[in-house]
Amino acid sequence: MKTILMTGAAGGIGTFLRKEFAGKYTLRLSDRVAINDLGKNETFVPADLTYLEAVKAATDGVDGIFHLGGQANEADWETILNANIIGLRNLYEAARQTGVKRVVFASSNHAVGFYRRDQVIGHAVVPRPDSRYGASKAFGEAMGALYADKYGMEITCIRIGNVAMEPADKRRLAIWISPRDLAQLVSIGLDHPDIHYEIFYGMSDNKKAWWDNSNALRYGYKPQDRSEDFAEAVLAAEAPKADGDPTEIYQGGTFVNSEAGGAPVKNR
């Protein structure tokens, strides 16, 4: 089996994917938080992403990387800078220096969160981040392109929606992805022979989707789950929102209102 480094493995997505990848890959798990419930074919390597040498030690000898590590939500600039920009640069550079060609980067829907919900966007749109967090994910995508084009690495960026066993609200009916569907996308990024640099949307087969995921489909992605199966119960439980609410107009939801100045709806 290939040995895959999964950074940020102590988090929720990492926990889901450890189960999905059991028996498929040998997993080297990394985080600042120790993981003690190691299973068969799992090892743990601590690493702080802000220290290049520690990241190089974690990447050395693996066949591919799924990079989940970093700040997973909006935060102050120093936190985002250290975890998602310096840390992300260190991950790519460590992979280059240790000869790891395959990297799957956990990007986010918040890299494009200021697109409207009444339009369907593809993978090639210009990033319109809704937050410092979203901007850091757009940076990660750009760095992936740089390392693919300049250094010959093979990079897949997945703009993840919301990973859960089922969608929790109306917004997530559009962006939800089940753990097994995300595992399939990550495996395409790790294993498909023709990857150079690609962007996929991390969503299941969602009828109410705002994203055209044909780029993932052309690489063989076949989502197994549908948000529409949960739609009736989700919509019945959710109170209607006020007209003109930016969190209902834009894809990024509440992220677009964080520290908003002026009228974000204007000229959009």
**27 in a domain, yes or no?**
yes
**262 in a domain, yes or no?**
no
Q: What is the rounded distance in angstroms from the CA atom of residue 200 to the CA atom of residue 251?
A: 16
> At which residue do the structure tokens 């009828």 appear?
207
State residue 261's pLDDT score: 54
H or E, element range at 44 = strand 42-46
Closest CA relative to residue 185, chosen from 209, 161, 156: 156
**222 in a domain, yes or no?**
yes
Closest CA relative to residue 7, chosen from 98, 85, 88: 88
**264 in a domain, yes or no?**
no
Predicted TM-score (pTM) of this structure:
0.95
* Residue 155's CATH number: 3.40.50.720
* Rounded CA Rg of the chain: 18
Residue-number span of the structural domain to which 29 is assigned: 3-257
3-state secondary structure (DSSP) of residue 156 = strand
Q: Angle 120-123-126 (CA atoms, 0-180°, nearest 5)?
A: 90
State residue 159's pLDDT score: 98
Q: Angle 91-93-99 (CA atoms, 0-180°, nearest 5)?
A: 100
State residue 263's pLDDT score: 45
Q: What is the mean pLDDT of the chain?
A: 95
State residue 197's pLDDT score: 98
Residue 31 bridge partners (DSSP): 46
81-114 pLDDT, tens per residue?
999 999 999 999 999 999 999 999 999 999 999 9
Closest CA relative to residue 213, chosen from 234, 231, 188: 188
**73 in a domain, yes or no?**
yes
> At which residue do the structure tokens 């529409």 appear?
228
Closest CA relative to residue 8, chosen from 88, 81, 63, 113: 88
Catalytic residue among 25, 92, 133, 201: 133
> At which residue do the structure tokens 């120790």 appear?
34
For 197-220, give one letter per residue: b (16+ CB within 10 A) or e.
Answer: bbbbbbbbbbebbbbebebbeeee
Query: What is the tally of structural domains in the chain?
Result: 1
State residue 265's pLDDT score: 45
**230 in a domain, yes or no?**
yes
Q: Are 179 and 223 in contact (CB under 8 A)?
A: no
In the residue annotation, 250 being an active-site residue is answered as no
- Per-residue pLDDT in tens (0 to 9) along the chain, 268 residues: 999 999 999 999 999 999 999 999 999 999 999 999 999 999 999 999 999 999 999 999 999 999 999 999 999 999 999 999 999 999 999 999 999 999 999 999 999 999 999 999 999 999 999 999 999 999 999 999 999 999 999 999 999 999 999 999 999 999 999 999 999 999 999 999 999 999 999 999 999 999 999 999 999 999 999 999 999 999 999 988 877 889 999 999 999 987 755 444 443 3
**268 in a domain, yes or no?**
no
**266 in a domain, yes or no?**
no
